[in-house]
Amino acid sequence: MSTRITRRKLLALAAQATAVACASRFFVIESAGMTQNAEANAKYKDVFAALDGFVKQYMREMNAPGMTLALANRDGILRAATYGFSDLERGLNVKPEQLFHIGSISKSFTAIALLQLREEGKLDFHQPVVEYLPWLKIETQYAPITTHHLLTHSAGLPGNVSIFLSDPAAKHKTGFAPGEHFHYCNLGYHILGLLLSTLDNRPYGESVRQRILEPLGMSSTEPTINGDIRDRTARNYMIYHDERPYPRNGKLAEAPQLIFEKGSGSIASTARDMGYYVNMLANRGRGAKGRVLSEESFNLFVKPHIKAADFGPTASYGYGLAIDQLDGHTIARHTGGMVSFMSAMQVDLDEGVGGFASINAQQGYRPNPVVVYALKAMRAANATQTLPPLPLPKLPGKIEKAEEYAGVFTSPEGRKMEFMAEGDRLFLLHKGQRLQLESTTGPGFLAQHSDLDRFLISFGRDKGEEGKVTEVSHGADWYVNQQYAGPRNFTLPKEWTAFIGHYRNDSPWIGSFRVVQRKGRLWLDGVLPLEPVDVNTFKLADSPYNPEWIRFLDVVNGRSMHLKLSGEDYWRVDAK
């Protein structure tokens, strides 16, 4: 249902949020008082209108339920708005006062609090962290890990495991010398959260609230996620089938209650409050009530300490923020992915403008395009230039150079897969049907059919990324075309057959994966190769310095019933 509220009515209802209906399923609600600055309204009026148009397009093409958005510059908040729905079933709008989990953008809050401790002389970033946390269980053949290494994701630790493992004797193992490589590591920021609470002698959330939230006026923000704030949080969603690749317009399910109190991503905030945070970053550490970081500390905060290809080919990582270039400007940015929220923040440190956006569903992508367009549009308005055109829709069925994948591929057993290209679309001929393939955030394409939806369809080339397509895989199945000139016969060690299967942990953070065999080796979910270390232990072999590992345990009747992924437990299930 559409609701139209005039600007005059907005001012009359200053204590409430104002709703403007853009379409039957698209709503914009502005926080009261956020756009009443006449100069800002005039300067950015066209920016707001263009951005609303792009958000409408983006949310529809990405199947997003609702969104929250904040724009700010060095002078203050320019706009705080929400779009779409908090409750899909009842058609209830997202409200400005509702909380969104900001995910890993919280890492920058953790880093700021630790930089404050450094300013106070309570923390040396280059001392071994075990000197502050002697109980920390880390096994390493390299030099000690420091706070600096943890802040920059260069400690060599596995990324997504608990500090305290189920085996009390287990220790976390490092995969490379600290400082040598970047490997995104939530575990490192879990440790940093405990370091903060230890040195500050109070719980992590209380420390963040008093050191950052209160000085910045972020009065609606919660530093930890728990049941007490659920009624204030926008209703949120996760993929319905959480154990298989997600199609762009796939079914969603309401997410379960979450309790999360870690330095890696436990903050829940509103659009208005995130506007205050973006304003502080645009002002290089200064908020409305004064500095939260000195100029020296802010320079350390946004210094590109280590190259971070995970964030893009030109990106580096500072302390809790990626540092990159956009159109020749220095950008501090980060994304956040929670069980049921996806967020993005980008701040142009040169221009002094920034934005934050968050979506109340986890579907594998982040709303970076919205924030990037906002930055470009605000810069254009500052320079009194024509606004940039809206980005073109990124349709899931559009596949670049689709013709390169067309052809017939045959398995060693004689089964065939045939692909046809029509312009920028690619089709698989399967059981008399033409299935249009969909691009995904993973390394392959998705076919929506019950025979095929457990795994992505991945193509291989004969000479890396620039070579000709010669093979295709789907889970354990492997096919080649007539141009394939490599080996065709492979042998899998007999003992490895016990490891093939579907493993699951019912934590919403962990979920499922499937181990398959193909071309004489084991693969995780059919796309990530495993490299043997010993008889039952493997490394994840997508890069030579990946510290993640898998160990298969408890073989019963020729099947491993239990495994550990970098220390976290998974158990075999019979579901295919």
pLDDT at 39 over 90: no
DSSP, res 181: -
Measured between alpha carbons, how far is 344 from 68 in angstroms, rounded to an integer?
11
Q: What is the pLDDT of residues 339-393, one digit of tens each?
A: 999 999 999 999 999 999 999 999 989 999 999 999 999 999 999 999 999 998 8
CA dihedral 130, 136, 137, 140 (to 10 degrees): -30
The pLDDT score that the predictor gives to residue 38 is 64
**Mean pLDDT for the stretch of residues 127-133:** 98
3-class secondary structure, 150? helix
CA 36 to each of CA 32, 40, 73: distance values in angstroms, whole numbers, following the listed order: 8, 8, 15
**Mean pLDDT for the stretch of residues 283-295:** 96
Sign of CA dihedral 342, 48, 65, 233: positive
Q: What is the pLDDT of residues 44-59, one digit of tens each?
A: 999 999 999 999 999 9
Q: What is the pLDDT of residues 267-285, one digit of tens each?
A: 999 999 999 999 999 999 9
CA 264 to each of CA 185, 271, 324: distance values in angstroms, whole numbers, following the listed order: 9, 20, 21
Contact 366, 351 (CB under 8 A): no
Report the candidate in 327, 273, 323, 328 with the shortest Cα–Cα distance to residue 302.
323
pLDDT at 9 over 50: no
CA 249 to each of CA 30, 395, 396, 441: distance values in angstroms, whole numbers, following the listed order: 27, 11, 9, 14
Q: Read off the tokens for 381.
A: 């308005």
From first CA to last CA, the distance across the chain in angstroms is 42
Across 74-132, the runs of DSSP E, i.e. the strands, are 76-87, 92-93, 100-101
Report the candidate in 150, 122, 126, 148 with the shortest Cα–Cα distance to residue 136.
150
Q: Judging by DSSP bridges, how do beta strands 76-87 and 416-422 pair with one another?
A: unpaired
Measured between alpha carbons, how far is 356 from 82 in angstroms, rounded to an integer?
11
**E strand or H helix that includes residue 73:** strand 66-73
**E strand or H helix that includes residue 276:** helix 271-282
Q: What is the DSSP string of 409-456?
A: EE-TTS-EEEEEEETTEEEEEETTEEEEPEE-SSSSEE--STTTTTS-
- Residue 307 — pLDDT band, cuts 50, 70, 90? very high
**Mean pLDDT for the stretch of residues 497-514:** 94
**Mean pLDDT for the stretch of residues 417-426:** 97
pLDDT at 22 over 60: no
CA 271 to each of CA 30, 480, 571: distance values in angstroms, whole numbers, following the listed order: 10, 51, 40
Report the candidate in 472, 558, 550, 470 with the shortest Cα–Cα distance to residue 513.
550
Measured between alpha carbons, how far is 142 from 11 in angstroms, rounded to an integer?
62
Percent of the chain with pLDDT over 90: 86
pLDDT at 329 over 90: yes
Q: What is the pLDDT of residues 156-177, one digit of tens each?
A: 999 999 999 988 889 999 999 9
* Residue 445, amino acid: F
Q: Judging by DSSP bridges, how do beta strands 416-422 and 425-430 pair with one another?
A: antiparallel
Contact 512, 571 (CB under 8 A): no
The count of other CB atoms within 10 Å of the CB of residue 153 is 26
Contact 329, 348 (CB under 8 A): yes
**Mean pLDDT for the stretch of residues 458-477:** 92
The pLDDT mean for the chain works out to: 92
Measured between alpha carbons, how far is 514 from 363 in angstroms, rounded to an integer?
20
What is the per-residue burial (b if ≥16 Cβ within 10 Å, else e) of 61-93? ebbbbbbbbbbbbeeebbbbbbbbbbebeeeeb
CA dihedral 125, 130, 134, 140 (to 10 degrees): 170
CA 529-552-176 angle, to 5 degrees, is 55
The pLDDT score that the predictor gives to residue 20 is 33
pLDDT at 25 over 80: no
Percent of the chain with pLDDT over 70: 94
pLDDT at 8 over 80: no
Q: What is the pLDDT of residues 516-575, one digit of tens each?
A: 999 999 999 999 999 999 999 999 998 889 999 999 999 999 999 999 999 999 999 998
